[in-house]
Structure 1
Amino acid sequence: MTAQLTSIRTDGDKIEIVNQLLLPHVTEFVEIHDIYEAHDAIKSMKIRGAPAIASLAALSISSHLSRALREDPPPAFLASNAALQSHIQAKLDYLFKARPTAVNLGAATRRLKKTLDEGVASAAGPREVAEAIIKEGKLINDEDVGRNRKMSKWGAEWLEEYWKRSGSDAGKEGLNVLTVCNTGSLATSGYGTALGLITHLFETGKLGKAYYTQTAPYHQGSRLTAYELKTLQIPSVMICDTMVGSLFQHHKIHAVAVGADRIAKNGDTANKIGTYNAAVLAARHNIPFIVVAPISTVDLDVLSGENIPIEHRPPIEACTVRGVLTPLAAEPSERKQAVVMMTPEDIEVYNPSFDVTPAELITAIVTEKGVATRRAGEKTFDLSEIV
């Protein structure tokens, strides 16, 4: 089994995240001391990936309460259930606003709110309610790795069976899979979703080669996916976002596997910008397009992609590129990070962080509960079997 990277590590109440703004050249773990630093890390993209964001938010609440329980005298919000409810609800609302598109963050805050509300409604005192929230916050993080392994296995096995049913020689020398953005251990609590599918194929000897887009403007592919695949020693090739069509024309690609930040009830999926482009081209070339994401990403309250809020990032992010000035031979601590402007100043920029892929372009949606496909002749999904 391949060694895994990690985006979050904990030791008791101590939380550290790898600063993904500095990867791949510098690996720096940053301690998150409080909820405000967790909010900043999410908003500034020091940590990113829908499951990882949810884990950090939940862990920051747990850590906050654990420390409060040890204070002498105790803080005022532990004086009564009403005070605790008011205090924690405000913190949950604050964390939720850090990034609006990823539904996992909302699912985590709602789950903690449910624990809070149920505790307050019971006969438990504020300290007991706080203990329950602490336990639930840690559970949100811990259960992510197990479900990632499940969905990765489901998706990989479905893809193998898909090509077996086709009757072709596809995959005889290994299945070649393209992915967009970064959906591995750095985007989750471990193993990953779409990148987990690729990792599972590699671990079982079924992978030919992994391809990944740079994923501009933040370059999650060229910085983070490249780093993970290299660490895992998985054979891989990077392409520019504009090269997807050319890749499909000249190389045999057996699937496109992507993650998701939100999946609507009908199967429309929001994911990192550039995913829709890949889906359109995959349909043109009859390549199966697979979405791999936990059940918490499915938002049954959102009927279609038209209702998914799309985050727009600051224009400057599309006008700059991050890099290293000092030669890579230097020690990591000596490498100087630089941000370089690529465009004229004061230009108008359209910079959505996500796009929406319509359900009709998606072949399969994989969660830890299994694989959903569209019924023959239908353009949308019935996700009831996997939610």
Structure 2
Amino acid sequence: MAEALTSIKSSDDKIEIINQLLLPHTTEWLRIDNIEQAHDAIKSMKIRGAPAIASLAALSVSQHLTRALRADPPPEFLSSPESLRDHVSPILSFLFTARPTAVNLGAATRRLSRTLQSSLDAGKGVRAIAEDVIEDGRLVAAEDVGRNKAMSKWGGDWLVEEVKRKGGSGEALNVLTVCNTGSLAYGYGTALGLITYLHESGKLRRAYYTQTAPYHQGSRLTALELKTLQIPSTMIVDTMVGSLFQHHKIHAVAVGADRIAANGDTANKIGTYNAAVLAARHKIPFIVVAPITTVDLDVAHGSGIPIEHRPPLEACVVRGALYPPSLDGQGNKAQGTVMITPEGLDGIYNPSFDVTPGELITAIVTEKGVATKGGDGKFDLSSVV
């Protein structure tokens, strides 16, 4: 079986991330040596995918405290439990600001904050408190693979049965996805994990994926993952979704999520809402696959989800390998950035996410199972969180 890609490598106090801005043409591993570098990597999208950014944030806190415990002399913030709290709490708040839409990042920082406070409340010494936070930070990352595989199986099996319920065979399934939700987003993958599971179980005919402009996570990253895993696949540009549905039998759309509101409204990469509207028109099941940490029951509906807007320039330029190909001094394909718009545009709308209303979603899948709408047409997510 082909080996999946990964986005983070960590050991003891060492962290490396694959620079996703250079994929698929160059594989560059970047060392993360401090909190500021972790924040920059998340904000600049050198690493992306809701689970991956949460994992990097948590691991960077563990790294920071591990190195502090080994320092001689120890830093001043290890002089008392209170000084440790006063040092770590602003770090967690700072990391959260890197990508505020992704609820996983907030869940990870809040989790470490709770661990810090509970250890303080238990009356532990400063070194023991630091060790508790270190251990929990590493657990945030380690838990992803198992939960990803669980939700992928739940979602894949549900889709097979849904197709059978409608008179199909449950075999040779065609599934469309948006953006990148595979192992580069961390673990086994969420929506792309569902596709991988169907492939591994012999139920998939072909995966389709959108380019996902303007950052092209589909054509750069999903394309690379599917090629690496040797999964039959077809790329389409974002505006071809309707044409695809008209002319090809698509059994489902599977997408990830950066935040799911209590009523099922889901924030995901820009273009997801478009695909959901078209899927509803063609009566194609629309499946959201995401970990429990993505469900935010404190937000009643999608209007309460903050939407990150990226720098306007990102919608005006594209980066890739020069064509015809040429090699740089290190033997890598030479890359460049080109502007595809006139300079000085005074109006550029560049949200990174859109919100798909729950009414357009057929099923929401987490590691605990599959939620579908009740007789009232509404989601009850209590069974999957």
TM-score band, normalised by the shorter chain? over 0.9
Correspondences of 1:250-289 after superposition (within 5 Å):
250-289=247-286
Residue 11 in structure 1 maps to residue 8 in structure 2: no
User: Can you list the C-alpha shifts for 1:114-166, whole angstroms capped at 9, x where unaligned?
Assistant: 00001111120110000000000000000001000000000000000001111
User: Could you tell me which residue of structure 2 aligns to residue 78 of structure 1?
Assistant: 78
Amino acid aligned to 2:358: A
CA–CA separation in structure 2 for the residues paired with 1:220 and 1:3:
20
Describe the SS at the equivalent of 2:56: helix
Q: Report if the CA contact (8 A) 2:327-2:334 is conserved.
A: no
User: Which residues in structure 2 correspond to 1:292-303 (within 5 Å)?
Assistant: 292-303=289-300
Residue 94 (structure 1) shift: 0.4
Residue identity matched to 1:244: V
C-alpha distance in 1, partners of 2:136/2:325?
42
Aligned counterpart, 1:384: 382
Shift of 1:327: 4.4
Instruction: State the partner residue of 1:116.
Output: 116
Determine the structure 1 residue equivalent to 2:192: 195
1:109 aligned partner, one-letter code = T
Q: Distance in 2 between matches of 1:329 and 1:338?
A: 11
Question: 1:199-239 deviations in whole A, cap 9, x for unaligned?
Answer: 00000100010000000000000000000000000000000
Contact 1:215 1:274 in 2 (8 A): yes
SS of 2:64's equivalent in the other structure is: helix
| Structure 1 segments (4+ residues) deviating >6 Å | none
Q: Could you tell me which residue of structure 1 aligns to residue 337 of structure 2?
A: 339
Contact 1:2–1:203 (CA<8 Å) still a contact in 2? no
Distance 1:119 1:103, change over 3 A: same
Normalising by the residue count of structure 2, what TM-score does the alignment of the two structures yield? 0.98
2:58 — aligned with what? 58
- Residue 328 (structure 1) shift: 4.0
- What are structure 2's unaligned runs of at least 5 residues? none
Distance 1:4 1:16, change over 3 A: same
The runs of 5 or more residues in structure 1 that have no matched partner are: none
Q: Secondary structure of 1:334's match?
A: coil
Q: Which amino acid aligns with 1:324?
A: A
Supply the distance in 1 between the matched residues of 2:191 and 2:29 (Cα, whole angstroms).
25
How far off its partner does 1:336 sit? Answer: 1.9
Q: RMSD value over aligned CA atoms? A: 1.1
* Mapping 1:75-114, distance limit 5 Å: 75-114=75-114
Report how far residue 10 of structure 1 moved: 0.9
- Which whole-Å deviations, capped at 9, do the CAs of 1:262-318 have from their partners, x for residues lacking one? 000000000000000000000000000000000000001100000000000000000
Report whether the alignment pairs 1:218 with 2:206: no
Cα distance, 1:325 vs structure 2 = 1.9
Amino acid at match of 1:340: V
Q: Is the 8 A contact 2:2 2:228 kept in 1?
A: no
Conservation of the 8 A alpha-carbon contact between 1:178 and 1:255: yes
Report how far residue 329 of structure 1 moved. 6.7
Kindly tell me the number of residue pairs found equivalent between the two proteins. Answer: 383
Post-superposition offset of 1:168: 3.1
Q: SS of the residue aligned with 2:370?
A: strand
> 1:352 aligns to what?
351
1:240 is aligned to 237
Give 3-state SS (helix, strand or coil) of 2:123's partner: coil
Q: Distance in 2 between matches of 1:234 and 1:344?
A: 38
Residue equivalent to 1:32: 32
- Percent identity over the alignment is 71
